Structure 1
């Protein structure tokens, strides 16, 4: 079964990290990433950009594009991991490993009801 591990954190805290602090955290998170890849349990993972660069589409019909996400929370969605485990306990264990690397983050584990891997995306420079 596929599960999404959604990583939440306060953007101000994340943005306050020095380059060295951020690199140290990423090194620890990539160790968990590599272990999950070796176990063939990790699918796509992404670190999201800041919410100030995001927009939200909401409303009826074509919808209206408004600036940023407006969630009633102090934490913002920082990134996500897609994992494959037979039960939610395996996904929880993976989230605990991620939390050991980043103990100030909050991790939500949610079953994925439909998983379509899509096409492989290559990075494209903006024209």
Structure 2
């Protein structure tokens, strides 16, 4: 089964890291992605650009509205994701717990919903 691990943390806290700590976090993240791949769990993993570059698209009554954002009332922003293959939720949670940013932020784990074919 596929699970999406959404990585959240405060962008400001990441920007406050020293250059050495940033390099270590990047290296640890890449190493973990490689480990997931070697073990057959990794489907995709990407970091995201800062939230200030994000746009929100809505379509209402045929009209498209594009706004800056999202600007939720929260300190933590979505920083990236890892899509994994795991036999069950328990295994997916164990994989998420080892994501390097889990020690600083939080990881939301959600099973992928398969839309039934008509």
Q: How does the TM-score come out when normalised to structure 1?
A: 0.82
Q: Counterparts of 1:28 and 1:11 in 2: how far apart (Å)? A: 18
**Would you tell me which structure has more strand in proportion to its own residues?**
2
- Give the unaligned 5+ runs of structure 1: 116-127
Q: Counterparts of 1:36 and 1:95 in 2: how far apart (Å)? A: 11
**Alignment correspondent of 1:26:** 26
Aligned residues: 113
Q: Counterparts of 1:17 and 1:37 in 2: how far apart (Å)? A: 27
Q: Counterparts of 1:72 and 1:83 in 2: how far apart (Å)? A: 29
- Give the unaligned 5+ runs of structure 2: none
Q: How does the TM-score come out when normalised to structure 2?
A: 0.88
**Alignment correspondent of 1:54:** 54
**Alignment correspondent of 2:36:** 36
**Alignment correspondent of 2:69:** 68
Residue 52 of structure 1, CA deviation: 0.8
Q: Counterparts of 1:114 and 1:44 in 2: how far apart (Å)? A: 17
Provide the alpha-carbon RMSD of the alignment. 1.6
Residue 59 of structure 1, CA deviation: 4.3
**Alignment correspondent of 1:79:** 80
